[in-house]
Structure 1
Amino acid sequence: MGEAIGAVLPLAVGVSLSPIPIIAVVLMLATPGGRTNGITFVLGWVVGLAVVGTIVLLVSGGAGANDGGGPAPWVGIVKLVLGVGLVALSVVQWRRRPREGDATLPAWMTTIDTFTPVKAAGLGLGLSAVNPKNLLITVGAAAAIAQTGAGAGGAAVALAVFVVLATIGPAVPLIIDVALGDRSAVALTGLRGWMAAHNTAIMCVLLVLIGVKLIGDGVTVLTT
């Protein structure tokens, strides 16, 4: 179990530091009923990560090791494909980056003040389970757990650790809001501005680092 938890830690950090979900929660907190929407967003986020990870683990079943006790070849192939996909995604995002000084954010962020708790939960679910970057990393995390050959209990604990750590980023604005109350506005505005300005750079660095790690892991599995 310890090996499985260690394998998902860097992947969880990559999901947790996604700028767009963090900015979305910050914007929600500035609207009427924002704290409720922020909480339901985070709950949707957790459900999305848990569902994707669980599906991958169920599909992998007991296929986490070969006859010699090492990782099955499919694990190496999956990691290699995911790693290449993340690196390719980083290249695409970098080439599409906005011009300097133009911190363009998704158009749906302009409608956040109209969100209901249900819509906020759906957004959290979508950004964690459907967003290509997070989907690829979560699948990679589940594959890493399967690679260790951990039992059902150990795999469940490792996935839970991944989900919790991957949720810290989107939950930070809520923690700041609760801890500072009315004084949180300045801190949250600064956080939103910084992450919006550096969104593409943060994402590309994370994608490349995690992609290279997955490629290396995949090559290791396939050549041993």
Structure 2
Amino acid sequence: MMTTNLLDVFTHGLGVAISPLVIIALVMILLSPRAKENGIAFLAGWLFGLGALGGVIFMIGGLSGMGHRPVIHGALALTFGLLLFALALRSWGHRKDKQETSRWLSAADHFTPLQAGAAGCFFAAIYPKNLILTAAMASKLAETASPQRIEDYGLFIVIGSLTIAGPVVLYLLAGKTIQPRLDRSKDWLVQHSRQILIALLCFFGARLSIRGLLLLTGGG
């Protein structure tokens, strides 16, 4: 695995894994009466969403013949970076609005397994931050040969799923004894989720924008 790809896999994977709203929703699921079934369903939906999104992007890349074309990849990286900055500005403008978090807090507690799985898939593949970061990672890996691409993207999924699989596995092992700790974690995330999200969006927005500009100017 190339060093640059390895660095991108880890950083983008962590960017996907650190998703406060997603973790809050998962914790609410694990505090609900159907915690075991819904937690497993949420994790399954999450893994499916990440895998399916990567597969779609690889297919589009293959059909369009993106390959190793710096101008195309530079334009994509710059676009993704600017989109993340736009999301950061939107989040900053709504930083005092708790409606989004409150909606998930009230809904996740009453999910059926099917709804929990659909929520996991949504957060992995459609939730804007994760959609952009995953698309940026998959489009970069589209440059590499197929076997290496699958290996790299598989590692990306593993890293991006740590904060989802971790609580589910802990609940399966420890049961309800872990719930007080999960509840405290949820309370902390509710208080700081907006700040964490804005910091992540700005970091990856800058990182992708710089990479895009370097590729477009021949410096990457």
Tell me if the contact between 1:64 and 1:75 (Cα under 8 Å) persists in the aligned partners.
no
- 2: distance between equivalents of 1:106 and 1:140? 30
Q: CA deviation at 1:183?
A: 2.4
Partner of 1:98: 96
Partner of 1:2: 2
The structure 2 residue matched to 1:160, chosen from 154, 165, 183, is 154
The structure 2 residue matched to 1:122, chosen from 118, 123, 136, is 118
Q: CA deviation at 1:175?
A: 3.0
Q: Deviations over 1:111-134 (max 9, x none)?
A: 223211111000111111111111
- 1: distance between equivalents of 2:54 and 2:180? 36
| C-alpha distance 108-24 of structure 1, shift in aligned 2 (>3 A) | closer
The structure 2 residue matched to 1:73, chosen from 63, 71, 78, is 71
Unaligned segments of structure 2, at least 5 residues: none
Matched, 1:36 2:23: no
Matched, 1:204 2:194: no
Partner of 1:186: 180
Q: CA deviation at 1:94?
A: 1.0
Unaligned segments of structure 1, at least 5 residues: 67-71
Partner SS, residue 105 of structure 1: helix
- 2: distance between equivalents of 1:200 and 1:108? 14
Task: Give the number of equivalent residue pairs.
Answer: 215
Partner of 1:88: 86
- 2: distance between equivalents of 1:31 and 1:84? 38
The structure 1 residue matched to 2:166, chosen from 156, 172, 175, is 172
- TM-score, scaled to structure 2: 0.91
- 1: distance between equivalents of 2:214 and 2:103? 41
Partner of 1:69: none
- TM-score, scaled to structure 1: 0.89
- 2: distance between equivalents of 1:95 and 1:143? 30
Tell me if the contact between 1:40 and 1:120 (Cα under 8 Å) persists in the aligned partners.
yes
Q: CA deviation at 1:103?
A: 8.6
- 2: distance between equivalents of 1:8 and 1:140? 10
Decide which moves more: 181-190 or 89-98.
Answer: 181-190
- 2: distance between equivalents of 1:144 and 1:106? 36
Percent of pairs with identical residues? 29
Partner SS, residue 8 of structure 2: helix
Q: CA RMSD in A?
A: 1.7
Matched, 1:217 2:211: yes
| C-alpha distance 191-108 of structure 1, shift in aligned 2 (>3 A) | closer
Partner SS, residue 101 of structure 2: coil
Partner SS, residue 161 of structure 2: helix
